[in-house]
Structure 1
């Protein structure tokens, strides 16, 4: 198994689910959190601008994924529902997959193919887990 195993996905998913426990968020808190997420995205994106090539692609995938997960988790806290919690879990799975795919781009030939297959398998397993928890 390559260094891009499902362990980071599983760990990341378990941490993100803890953040979804908060409920009954006021609209003002929601707006403030949304603004914080947007500002954090801008700062993180600026950090990526200093990079080049695939390192920049990986960084941008991480930053965009982080933003998408934060927004989905915020929505799940603001409007708690089974569907919104599922969407938050799915956002994490998809973000992890996009980063894993970018990391595979650093490889070539068979190693790249294996890496992409492992990333796809990890994504499928994590999606199945998210669906099962729904």
Structure 2
């Protein structure tokens, strides 16, 4: 009996260590990505110091956009949720808009107006795509849940035609198959 208890404790400890290590690896990768993004941003920004005027603004905006892309994608990967992925896409759309708008700063007159309108249209499209993709994923998850419920009810209905131990076995199999 003690050997069984000891073996169960060892297995439980090993499993919890494995789960903890996997979570820790994700955390380490996320932290490393953030640090890399920060370092790369500082390096790119320092290169911008030699430039003046609108090109300097564009250079800094590009460095910031690269940092936000890296951090947002790392965060989405770390959290691994639909909300995190949608948030990352929105952050990226916003920083891309800022970059495009900064690039428009060197233009004049109608060209500048058109450039800003195009940047705005690109942002609206990216945000709309993120929102639509989120709704599509949610709808697919709901549809899958509905299908599983319907299949489970079908299996239970098939079991009703049986009697005795066969019926009990059928119900047990259906519950096991559908995780109920």
After TM superposition, the score normalised by the length of structure 2 is 0.58
Provide the residue aligned with 2:97 in structure 1. 97
Considering fraction of residues, name the structure with more helix.
Answer: 2
Computed over aligned residues only, the root mean square deviation of the Cα atoms, in angstroms, reads 1.6
Contact 1:44 1:63 in 2 (8 A): yes
Contact 1:33/1:74, CA 8 A, preserved across alignment: yes
Distance in 1 of aligned mates of 2:125 and 2:33: 31
Match of 1:46 in 2: 46
CA distance in structure 2 between the aligned counterparts of 1:103 and 1:121, rounded to whole angstroms: 15
* Structure 1: runs of 5 or more not aligned: 1-22
- Structure 1 distance, partners of 2:32, 2:115, is 39
Structure with bigger gyration radius: 2
Higher relative contact order (CA 8 A, sep 6+): 1
Match of 1:129 in 2: 129
Distance (Å, rounded) in 2 between the aligned partners of 1:111 and 1:84: 36
Whole-angstrom distance in 2 between the partners of 1:89 and 1:46? 27
- The answer to whether the Cα contact below 8 Å between 1:97 and 1:119 also exists between their aligned partners in 2 is yes
Matches within 5 A, 1:54-69: 54-69=54-69
Contact persistence 1:62–1:95 (CA under 8 A) = no
C-alpha distance in structure 2 between counterparts of 1:102 and 1:29, whole Å: 32
Q: What secondary structure, in the 3-state scheme, does the structure 2 residue paired with 1:26 have?
A: helix
2:37 match: 37
Cα displacement string for residues 75-122 of structure 1 (whole angstroms, at most 9, x for unaligned residues): 111111111101111122112111110111111111111111111111
TM-superposed deviation, 1:28: 2.1
**Could you tell me whether the CA contact under 8 Å between 2:33 and 2:70 is conserved in 1?**
no
Of residues 99-108 and 32-41 in structure 1, the stretch that sits farther from structure 2 once superposed is: 32-41
